[in-house]
Amino acid sequence: MARLDLDLAHSYKANPQSDEDYALLPLKMCFEDGGAYALLGPSGCGKTTLLNIISGLIRPSQGSVHFGGNEVTNKTPQARNIAQVFQFPVIYDTMTVADNLAFPLRNRGVAPAQIKQRVGQIAEMLELSAQLDSPASGLAADAKQKISLGRGLVRSDVSAVLFDEPLTVIDPHLKWKLRRTLKQIHRELKLTFIYVTHDQVEALTFAEQVVVMTRGRVVQVGSADALFERPKHTFVGHFIGSPGMNFLPVQCRDGNLQVSGVALTLPLSPSQEILNAGQVTLGIRPEYVTLVEKDAPGALPVTVSQVLDIGAYWLINSFLGNSVVRARLSGDTPVPQVGDTVWLKVISEHTCYYKNEELLI
């Protein structure tokens, strides 16, 4: 077990010129020993490249990788002491479930008694105990993937366990149970887990720290509530949550904050920084937009363009000038009609302010 330090960049091209030539822009980060991390982002964001650099499948074009203070940049995956779980089951069909789980330990000459104990423990956690003596070949896809997970988890001396979209083949109804199992296992084994996914539920549920990536950049490393409440970058506000954060252009001039010609008052004292920032983007999540009376302070008039009954909530889409403002209102709210002008409040302690896509305060 070890702390992982990365200080690197990667380009698949020989002589990268601009930012677009980089699969991973220069980044410096560390994965603490025993932490549960998720790398989250849309396809092409660089998350798989980052995982492959950690595992040693790719050598970064610049910089270094350290495991527990030792440089491993040029070391092969085998020499790095890591375990990996892939999208699809990687198991030996000719072996029993128990032999599959024991394989990584036997390879390293672990004592038979110890192997038996560890295989039993892992099988118990993954609810595979009843199938230990069955041949792996006859099992369903999700059971096979559980064996893959077990093989990844069976060694207690690895630096990290790397998961690449491991629940892809799992039936949607069974996914939550495996997510719970993975969380329990992390708590009990205290291994470092690094988990790649494009699915926000998977990442936010599994990880203590989520690494959000876009276009080769890490834009925020944070817990689920930090990503939801204080997105550090507009991309995080947009990507986390469904629908994502609303963004409105705001003018800050002469100590005033104006949205579409309406002057707004800031509730917080450290607002001087915002008030001097000129052109700013205001971010507010649909969950925190509220319907208010026309005369309420800071009430913004919007034109309702769509009213959706999404079961538990109403989703109201509206226009403030050219900007779309979405509001998620609770089911017992009296709802407006399409075409109505209504007044929304967008300033509260949940409001975020951005300059050049980065969070101001």
> What is the binding site for another protein (CB under 8 A)?
42-43, 176, 179-180, 183-184, 187, 198-201, 204-205, 224-225, 227-229, 238-244, 285-287, 306, 308-315, 317, 328, 331-335
List phi, psi (to 5°) of 340: -65, 150
The contacts of residue 16 (CB under 8 Å, 6+ apart) are 22, 61
User: Number of H helices and number of E strands within the chain?
Assistant: 9, 21
Closest contact distance (angstroms) between CB of 201 and another protein is: 5
The contacts of residue 132 (CB under 8 Å, 6+ apart) are 96, 97, 98, 101, 119, 123
If DSSP states are collapsed to H, E and C, what string results for 35-92? CEEEEECCCCCCHHHHHHHHHCCCCCCEEEEEECCEECCCCCCHHHCEEEECCCCCCC
Rounded distance, CA 78 to CA 297, Å? 63
Long-range CB contact pairs, 323-327, < 8 A, 24+: 323/246, 323/247, 323/248, 323/249, 323/260, 324/246, 325/246, 325/248, 325/289, 325/300, 326/243, 326/246, 326/286, 326/289, 327/286, 327/289, 327/290, 327/291
Give the pair of three-digit tokens for residue 330.
Answer: 């609770």
Report the chain's C-alpha Rg in angstroms: 25
- Pick 12 or 176: Cβ nearer another protein: 176
- Pick 51 or 210: Cβ nearer another protein: 210
Rounded distance, CA 162 to CA 86, Å? 8
Length of the chain: 361
Rounded distance, CA 340 to CA 330, Å? 19
Q: How many CA atoms lie within 13 A of 316 on its CB side?
A: 29
Using CB atoms within 10 Å of the CB of residue 71, give its burial: 0 to 12 exposed, 13 to 18 middle, 19+ buried. Answer: exposed
Nearest Cα to Cα of residue 145 among 126, 130, 159, 161: 126
Closest contact distance (angstroms) between CB of 228 and another protein is: 5
